[in-house]
Amino acid sequence: MKNLALSMANIRRSLFINFFSSTGGTVVQFAVTLFLARILSPSDIGIYSMTIVFINIAHIFQDFGVGSYLQREKELTPEKLRAATGVIFTTSWSIAAVIYAGSDWLGRWFNEPTMIPVMKVLALCFVFIPFGSITNSLLTRDFAAGKQAWVGAVSTAASAVTCITLALMGFGALSMAWANLANIVACAIAFIPFRPNYLPWLPSFRHWRDVVHFGMSSLLTNCLNSVNNSIPDILLGKLGNATLVGFFSRANSTVTIFFHIAGSTANYGSVSYIAQAHHRGESVGTLLNKATSLLTGIAWTALGLTYVFATDIVTVLYGEKWLPSVPAMDGLLVACAIGTVFNYYPAAMTAIGRPFLASFPIAVTLLSRIAFAFALFDGSIRSFSWVICGATLVALPVLLIQQHIYLRHRLTTQLQALWPSAAVAIICMTGAAILKIALPASFAPAFVLLASALPLACLWYLSLRMTGHPLTAEIHKMVAGFRARAA
């Protein structure tokens, strides 16, 4: 029990560090995004969005489940570490060659020649990724968030400076591609001082079968997930144009602001933590209920407020030229709220050693998105957002059935854990709507958001107290920790 208490204290400390480091990085990246929204055109943003989706798919093959393998494995030996290193270098450099060679064909297929140089620069990223990826996975396994925070600060600074400088010089979409490369190179260099002593320097293929076996199990799920995340931009780019992709991408990034800020912390070490609980024989379903309740207690309220203040948020953050992206936010907000409930589902399947099972609901969602897009898309991004939402609803039964069978996670207990979060979100949305009506219509959008922030924060906390939400206890523990440190 003492070791478990120490472990929980270490995890809370790591989450605390990760939150502030990732939030700092997100603020910088977000500031860069706001800057680019005023310098680059929607077409530039759309070109990069259309290109990066293929890079994200390639990342799945490059990683080959090695990161999850290192975090989930009960005992790591030097032989397993050498094999993991050998696999990651082989896959990364092979992917780099394939992307570089295929960039011309892809640009011609989309009839967007400006995609070609962007893809070639992004291909170079895969050459440098292996030099830091193994160290990063091992630090996550050990919950060494402090070391990762330093690396994140260095890489974020390198990316931001590169992106802003090149955008001002007129590089367009290429400025974001070179910034991506600068980020990865900076990471590889910054990870060197934090490389664990037990990590061998030389790779090996002598014991590669264990790594490849797990990688093959998780590859299908990871690949489908990446394709599923990328298919909206691909479909919209093919059925519409780069400008529509740019507007839809901006709507999606606005909807997921909360996850850009807190997503890293919410998912930090989730595979390692759930795997350790599973190895101890604890109930994974009970663990998921608590984690999901804490997450939705914040996320659902954030999504609800985004719905109420959608126009104000887009105007303040990106400028009025991006207001055509607002109609896409309704369907995306509903889809995101549903997805939040199953945020830890893939990590749980990986933790119990069955990562391939998570591929089934993803496959259903992916096929539904394609079918609905061709059947229901009428040329507007509003209809396309409801295509995405409809596909999310279709996959719900598959998720619920698999949770019940493999995780012993019942729908009744899940709903019981979620109702306080739903109540809090509804109360806060109602308060936000009343505030918006009460404020004079002549107020600038920025002032509307600022004037609403404090009253809504107080209303959120009172709603947590009223509903007995478990997030209340976590907030009190955090405040008590601050007071103890101050004393």
Domain segments of the chain: what residues?
1-218, 240-487
Give the position of tokens 């780069």: 242
Whole-number Å distance between alpha carbons of 390 and 226: 19
Burial class from Cβ neighbours inside 10 Å (0-12, 13-18, 19+) for residue 180 reads buried
Angle at the Cα of 8 (from 5 to 12), degrees rounded to 5?
140
8-state DSSP, 199: S
Strand locations in 106-199 (E): none
CB 384 within 8 A of CB 335: no
The radius of gyration of the chain from alpha carbons, rounded to an integer in Å, stands at: 22
Instruction: Quick: pLDDT tens for 408-432.
Output: 888 889 999 999 999 999 999 999 9
User: In 111-129, which ranges are continuous DSSP H helix?
Assistant: 115-128
- Please give the single-letter amino acid code of residue 18: N
Burial class from Cβ neighbours inside 10 Å (0-12, 13-18, 19+) for residue 120 reads middle
Token pair of 251 as six digits: 């709507």
Q: How many residues belong to the chain?
A: 487
CB 68 within 8 A of CB 88: no
Token pair of 454 as six digits: 């404090």
Token pair of 275 as six digits: 């795997």
8-state DSSP, 73: -
Token pair of 288 as six digits: 């998921």
Per-residue confidence in pLDDT tens, the chain, 487 aa = 434 444 555 565 665 665 656 666 777 877 888 788 778 877 788 888 878 878 877 877 777 777 777 777 777 778 888 888 888 888 889 989 999 988 888 888 877 888 889 899 999 989 998 888 888 888 887 777 778 888 888 888 999 999 999 988 888 888 999 999 999 999 989 998 888 888 888 887 776 666 776 766 677 777 787 778 878 888 888 888 878 888 898 899 899 888 877 766 667 667 777 777 777 777 788 888 888 999 999 999 999 999 999 999 999 988 888 899 999 999 999 999 999 999 888 888 888 878 778 888 999 999 999 999 999 898 888 999 999 999 999 999 999 998 888 888 888 899 999 999 999 999 999 999 999 999 888 889 999 999 999 999 999 999 999 999 999 988 888 777 767 766 6
Instruction: Quick: pLDDT tens for 122-140.
Output: 999 899 988 888 888 888 8
DSSP 223-291: HHHHHHHHHHHHHHHHHS-HHHHHHHHHHHHHHTHHHHHHHHHHHTTHHHHHHHHHHTT--HHHHHHHH
